[in-house]
Structure 1
Amino acid sequence: MHDHPLPADHDHVFLGARHDRNARRTWAVIAITLAMMGIEIVAGTLFGSMALVADGWHMSTHAAALLITALAYHLARRHAQDRRFTFGTGKFGDLAGFASAMVLLVVALLIGWESLMRLADPVPIDFGQAIAVAVLGLVVNLGCALLLHEGHENHHHGHAHAHDNNLRAAYLHVLADALTSVLAIGALIGGRAWGLVWLDPLIGIVGALVIARWSVGLMRDAGAGLVDFVPEQEELPGEIREALEIEGDRIADLHVWQLGPGHHGAIVSIRTTDPKPLGHYRDRLRHLHEISHLTLEVEPVRP
C-alpha cells in the first residue's frame, strides 16, 4: 500500500507486476504468428495447396487480435505517468480484453456459420493436406500458448484478483486456434477413415460453441473491471471492515474497486467516538498489499 501524506507526492502507476514481461511475450507470439502466416501463404502458393493458403490468411486474423493486446500494453506503459488518467492506466488491459473478447465471439460465429453451411452443402476435402496443416497449426499454437500461459492466473496473497485480462485475451485467442486444430485433426481422421464428411462441420459447430463460451466469460470479467463491479467472492472489502471496525469504530461508507492487475483503490469513511490521526487507520490496513490507493475520512460522533 502506498502511504504518502499528500496526493502530489505519489504516482498513479497501477500496472500489473508482470506488465513488461507479458508485453514482450505478446510481441514474440505476434512475430511467430506472422512468420507462420508468411510461410503458409508462400508454401501454399508454390505447392498449390489451398488449405495452406487459407490457414495462412486465417492466422492473420489472430495476429490482428494479438496486436490489440500488444498495443494496450504499450499505451498503458507510455501513459502511465500521464496525470489526465486520474487513476492510472491499469484498466487499459480490461478495455483491450473486452475488445478482444468481442473479436473472439465474431470468430466463433463465423466458424459456426461456415460449419452450418458445410453441413448443409458438403465440400470435398483433401484429407492429407488438411491434416498436415492442422498438425502444423497445433504445434505452433501450443508453443504460443506456453509463452502466454505462465502468470495468466496470478493469485496475489491468496486473492484471485490479480488477473490480467489483456494477457488472458491473447491466451484465449491462441488456445481457440489450438482447439480448432485439435478438433479438425480428429474430424479429418474420422472423415478419412470412415468417409464421414459431415463430421468435420459438426465438430466445427462444437468448437464454435466452446470458443463463444470463452469469449462471453472474458467479456463478463473484463467488463466487470471497466464498470467497477466488485464480485461477491471478493475478500478485500470484508478484510478492510475486519481491520477497521474495532474499538467502537464503524465504517459508514466503503468503496473498493480495481485499478489494474493486483491493484485496488479504496475510499473509506469511518465514524468513531474516539477519533485518531489518519496514520493510525492507515497502519491498520498496511498488511492489505492489494490496496494501492487509499482515501480515508474520519467522522467524529458523540458517544
Structure 2
Amino acid sequence: MTAPGDIDALAHDHVFLGDSHDDNTRRTLWVVALTTIMMVGEIVAGTVFNSMALLADGFHMATHAVALAIAAGAYAYARRNAHNRRFTFGTGKVGDLAGFASALVLAIIAIGIAVESVQRLFNPSTVAFGEATVIAVIGLIVNIASAFLLSGGHHHHGHDHHDHHHGAHHRDNNMRSAFMHVLADALTSVLAIAALIAGRYLGWVWLDPVMGIVGGIVIAAWAWNLLRDTAAVLLDTSDPHLEQEIRDEVERPGDARIFDLHVWRVGPGAHAAIVGFAGGASTETVRQRLTAVHELQHVTVEAR
C-alpha cells in the first residue's frame, strides 16, 4: 500500500501552457495597440476617399485587432487559471478556443466584404486614388511590423514531412491565428495598393472592388483553415502519426500489445494519453518506454 507521503510525492499539476506563453502575451498586446490605431485610420480614409479596397483592408484590420484582443485575453485567462483544479487538464486549450472564435468572426466579415464589393462592382463610384494609396501603404508597413513582432524570431513552417508533423505537435494555435491573420492582412493591403495604382494610372476603376472580393476570399480561406485546425483540437481529435509513434515504442520489444489507445492535445506541445495494453510487460516498463515520446505530458497506463 502506498503511504500518504508517497501519494503527495506522486501528485502533479496540470499546467500545459506553451513555453513562450508570457512572451506571446506581451507581443500580442503591442500589436493590438499598433493595429487598432491603423484600423481607425484606414476605415476613416476609406470612407472619405470612397475606396472599397481600402475599406476592405480597414475592416480586415478591424477583425485582426479583434482577433488579437481575443488572443491576448485568452493568454491572460489561461495563465490566471493555470492552477485552477476545475480545469481537469489545465487551460492549455484556451488558445484553441480563442482561435476558433476569431475564425468565426473573420468568416462573417469575409462575407460582408465580398457582398459590399460586388455591389460596388456593379455600381462604381469615384475614388480618391492618390490619398487612398498613401493610407494603404502605411497599413502595409504596420502589417509588416506586426508580423515581425509576432514572429519573435521563431519559425512557423516546417521544412520537410517530419518537421511538419513535429511543428503541428508544438505550435500555439492562439499565436498562429494572430500571425496568420497579420499575413492575410498584409496580402489584402498589397491587393488594395495594386488596385488603387491601377485605378489612378490605367483607369481600371473596376479593379478596386475586384480586389475587395479577392480580399474577402483570402480572409474566408484563412478562417476555414483555422476553424478546421482549432476544431480538431477542441474535439480531441487524435494525431495518427503520434499514435503510431506510441505503438512503435510500446510494442517494438514484443512483450506488450496495445488494445486501447486515446491520445489528445491538452496544450501547445503537450498531449495526454490513455494506453491499455496486454502482455508480459509491466505498467512501469511501458511507462518508461513512453518517455521517448516527448509530446506526452500526461500518461495513464492500464494493463490487462
TM-score w.r.t. the length of structure 1 is 0.86
Distance 1:205 1:7 in 2: 60
Aligned ranges 1:23-62 → 2 under 5 Å: 23-37=25-39, 59-62=61-64
Amino acid at match of 2:248: E
Provide the residue aligned with 1:230 in structure 2: 238
Match of 1:106 among 97, 108, 121: 108
The question of whether the paired residues in 2 share the 8 Å contact of 1:15 and 1:90 is answered with yes
1:290 and 2:295 equivalent? yes
Amino acid at match of 2:82: A
Distance 1:40 1:217 in 2: 26
Q: Which structure: greater helix fraction?
A: 2
Deviation per residue, 1:240-293 (Å, 9 max, x gap)? 111111333111100011011100000001101x242x3221111111110000
Provide the residue aligned with 1:218 in structure 2: 226
The question of whether the paired residues in 2 share the 8 Å contact of 1:88 and 1:259 is answered with yes
Deviation of the 1:38 alpha carbon: 6.0
Deviation of the 1:229 alpha carbon: 1.1
1:258 and 2:285 equivalent? no
Provide the residue aligned with 1:163 in structure 2: 171
Distance 1:237 1:61, change over 3 A: closer
Deviation of the 1:63 alpha carbon: 2.0
Provide the residue aligned with 2:285 in structure 1: 280
Deviation per residue, 1:48-99 (Å, 9 max, x gap)? 7677x96777744432221111000110111010011001101101100000
Deviation of the 1:39 alpha carbon: 6.3
What secondary structure, in the 3-state scheme, does the structure 2 residue paired with 1:125 have?
A: coil
88-97 vs 158-167, which moves further: 158-167
Distance 1:116 1:220, change over 3 A: same
Distance 2:83 2:190 in 1: 44
Deviation of the 1:153 alpha carbon: 4.8
The question of whether the paired residues in 2 share the 8 Å contact of 1:65 and 1:100 is answered with yes
Amino acid at match of 1:241: R
TM-score w.r.t. the length of structure 2 is 0.86
Amino acid at match of 1:240: I
The question of whether the paired residues in 2 share the 8 Å contact of 1:119 and 1:202 is answered with yes
The question of whether the paired residues in 2 share the 8 Å contact of 1:153 and 1:162 is answered with no
**Identity percentage of aligned residues:** 53
Match of 2:248 among 242, 248, 258: 242
User: RMSD value over aligned CA atoms?
Assistant: 2.6
Aligned length: 287
Provide the residue aligned with 2:216 in structure 1: 208
Provide the residue aligned with 1:123 in structure 2: 125
The question of whether the paired residues in 2 share the 8 Å contact of 1:159 and 1:235 is answered with no
Provide the residue aligned with 2:184 in structure 1: 176
Distance 1:5 1:288 in 2: 25
Provide the residue aligned with 2:3 in structure 1: none
Deviation per residue, 1:205-235 (Å, 9 max, x gap)? 122112211110110000000001124xx42
Task: Identify unmatched segments of 5+ residues in structure 2.
Answer: 1-5
Match of 1:79 among 73, 78, 81: 81
